[in-house]
Amino acid sequence: MAESPITPRSKDFAAWYQDVVLQGDMAEPAEIVKGCMVIKPNGYAVWEGLQRELDSRFKETGHQNVYFPLLIPQSFLQKEAEHVEGFAPELAVVTIAGGKELEEPYVIRPTSETVIGHFFSRWIQSWRDLPVLMNQWANVVRWELRTRMFLRTTEFLWQEGHTAHATHGEAIAEALRMLDIYAEVAEQVMAMPVIKGRKTNSEKFAGALQSYSIEAMMQNGLALQSGTSHDLGQNFGKAFNVQFQNEEGRLDYVWQTSWGVSTRLIGGLIMTHSDDKGLVLPPKLAPVKAVIVPIFRKGEEGGAVLEAAHKIAKELGAKVDDRPGQTPGAKFFHWERRGVPVVLELGPRDLAAGNVVLKRRDTGVKEIVPREQAAEKLQAALARMQTDLFEKARKHLRDNCVLANSIDEVQAILGDVTAESGGGRFVMVHLKDDPACDARLKEFKATVRCIPLVDEYDGAGTCVVTGERVEQRVVVGKAY
């Protein structure tokens, strides 16, 4: 792909984001299919990294992977009232197959609660069958009106966990446990700090009793819901007749949960760390952690440099950029925009002195290290970069959380904020979980992002809309 300039963040955040995705060779619009994208090798490798990290944690907590059909009978969606209502506008429906009109159309799954409910009802008879802990890696389709690569595409990849439990308490614990796993992966692997919280009634998943989410803050101050888990109560159990006989011999409906993260995480990753030079990837997720750029003049000298470069690369597990006809400068730019965490320079001077030059992507700082310490220094630099990225992002998040004590104050802070303008904040305010309050925020396009599980502020107070007493401050912001 041709390498073009990257629009500065300050000039146009949306354009910057798109440039970074394109120039970082992460993905490109599918052009032939509305709202879809092609995830390219550099982007898919990041997704594979996330899959690896998430999947191992799911397995450790007793979940098993399964796969359910892409196509769902339309009537299934209609069995849970809120669920249909929530998803109806964004469904893609198959009405013709095999050249014939179908008696009952199939919906392309927007999520799988319904099919899974159907099978749970067949599989679960006794309390001894519970809990059922399943996860599916799949693609889903939601006919979104407005799409942005990774952040919201018509088709996207995700994982959806589905579990069934004997008691409500167990289901709630499961939903919270998975939320913790999401937060752990976001913070420790992606270096993306998040706030864990509960969704308000109007923001929760269609068909859930309660939704939980992790909310991250992008560099423009907008919130990105980065993972959700739901306490589905017995809603789907009742809709799909998922009954079991409990220890007392009585029939009861199961308590279910579902939880998911998607390729949207990659969008979050990009908008958390990248800069005006392009993509910045945290070492733990970078497909290529280090590249050696050899520098030399003539044939003989080149031979020695290349030989040493390959030898060092082997020791370090790095890649050598030995493409001929490209100047070192061009190579530096190339890897920089692809987010490679560390670039090592190796030229005649280094060869003579027994050094290599190590340069970190995030800080741009060069360090000259003795060749025999290269492996050790590289590992140290990668580890340091991982924690530095997290700390930097966490500082950004903290610095942009502000308190407000009236709705006018909230509006003053967030009213003019857009994805392009930047300057977004998380405004911590006392607000009742009431649709009327959500509606008031909507007047200036803000939303309650979540009600934090851990209240880091001043506890109870007076709702800025209704004047009623509420237990804690909530996070209000503008979101993707």
Which span (58-66, 94-102, 350-358, 450-458) binds RNA, by CB under 7 A?
A: 350-358
Per CB under 7 A, does 416 bind RNA?
no
What's the distance, CA 169 to chain centroid? 27
| 250 interacts with RNA by CB under 7 A | no
Q: How far apart are CA 439 and CA 4, in angstroms?
A: 43
Size of the site for RNA (CB under 7 A): 76
Question: Which residue, chain included where needed, has tokens 């050899």?
Answer: 294
Q: What minimum distance in Å lies between the beta carbon of 212 and RNA?
A: 11
Question: At its nearest, how many Å lie between RNA and the CB of residue 460?
Answer: 28
Of 136, 159, 225, 235, the residue at the interface with RNA (CB under 7 A) is: 225
Q: Based on the shown chain and the rule CB under 7 A, indicate whether residue 317 belongs to the binding site for RNA.
A: no
Closest to 227 in 3D by CA, of 205, 242, 209? 205
Nearest approach, Cβ of 396 to RNA (angstroms)?
20
The dihedral sign for the CA sequence 275, 55, 39, 116: negative
DSSP 284-333: TT-SS-EEEEE--SSHHHHHHHHHHHHHHHHHHT-EE---TT--HHHHHH
Under the criterion CB under 7 A, does residue 236 sit at the interface with RNA?
Answer: no
* Vertex 190: Cα angle to 46 and 338 (nearest 5): 45
Q: How far is the CB of 241 from RNA (least distance, A)?
A: 26
Choice from 61, 332, 380, 401 touching RNA (CB under 7 A): 332
Q: Exactly one of 328, 422, 423, 461 binds RNA (CB under 7 A); which one? A: 328
Determine the Cα–Cα distance for residues 4 and 225; give it in Å rounded to an integer: 31
Question: Position of tokens 């060092």?
Answer: 312
> Residue 7, Cβ neighbours under 10 Å: how many?
17
- By CB under 7 A, name the one of 54, 133, 138, 151 that touches RNA: 151
- Residue 393 or 419: which CB sits closer to RNA? 419
Q: Is 298 in the site for RNA (CB under 7 A)?
A: yes
SS3 180: helix
Minimum CB distance to RNA smaller for 15 or for 71: 15
- In this structure, what are the phi and psi dihedrals at residue 414, rounded to the nearest 5 degrees? -105, -15
Q: Which positions ≥6 away from 316 have C-beta within 8 Å?
A: 290, 292, 344, 374, 375, 378
**Is position 220 an interface residue for RNA (rule: CB under 7 A)?**
no
Q: Which tokens hold the place of 206? A: 């269609």
Supply the minimum distance, in Å, between the C-beta of residue 5 and RNA.
Answer: 6
User: Whole-angstrom Cα distance, residue 458 to residue 101?
Assistant: 60
Q: Which residues, numbered 421-450, are part of the site for RNA (CB under 7 A)? A: 442, 445
Stretch near RNA under the rule CB under 7 A, chosen from 11-19, 47-55, 231-239, 455-463? 11-19
CA–CA distance, 33 with 251 (Å, rounded to integer): 48
Binding range to RNA, per CB under 7 A, among 12-20, 249-257, 429-437, 458-466:
12-20
Site for RNA in 360-389 (CB under 7 A): 364
- 212 is a contact residue toward RNA (CB under 7 A): no
Using alpha carbons, select from 373, 424, 66 the residue that is nearest to residue 271: 424
Q: How far apart are CA 137 and CA 460, in angstroms?
A: 41
Nearest distance, CB of residue 171 and RNA, angstroms = 19
Using CB under 7 A, pick the residue from 91, 138, 209, 351 that binds RNA: 351
According to CB under 7 A, which one of 154, 229, 256, 258 is a site residue for RNA?
154
42, 136, 147, 257: which one contacts RNA (CB under 7 A)? 147
Per-residue burial over 270-306, b if 16 or more Cβ lie within 10 Å, else e, is bbbbbbeebbbbbbbbbbbbbbbbbbbeeeeebeebb
Q: Output 34 or 398, the one with its CB closest to RNA.
A: 34
The correct pick among 11, 33, 354, 408 for binding RNA (CB under 7 A) is: 33
Q: Does 418 bind RNA (CB under 7 A)?
A: yes
143, exposed or middle or buried, with CB in 10 Å at 0-12, 13-18, 19+?
Answer: middle
Figure out which of the listed residues 63, 83, 118, 148 binds RNA, where binding follows CB under 7 A. 148
262 binds RNA (CB under 7 A): yes
Binding of RNA by 349 (CB under 7 A): yes
- Range in contact with RNA (rule: CB under 7 A) among 27-35, 69-77, 129-137, 392-400: 27-35
Smallest distance, RNA to C-beta of residue 129, A: 29
Contacts (CB under 7 A) with RNA, residues 179-208: 205
Share in percent of the chain as helix, strand, coil (round to 5):
35, 30, 35
Q: How far is the CB of 441 from RNA (least distance, A)?
A: 11
Interface with RNA, residue 5, by CB under 7 A: yes
Build a one-symbol-per-residue string for 101-130: x at contacts with RNA by CB under 7 A, - elsewhere.
------------------------------
Residue 251 interacts with RNA (CB under 7 A): yes or no: no
Contact 23, 279 (CB under 8 A): yes
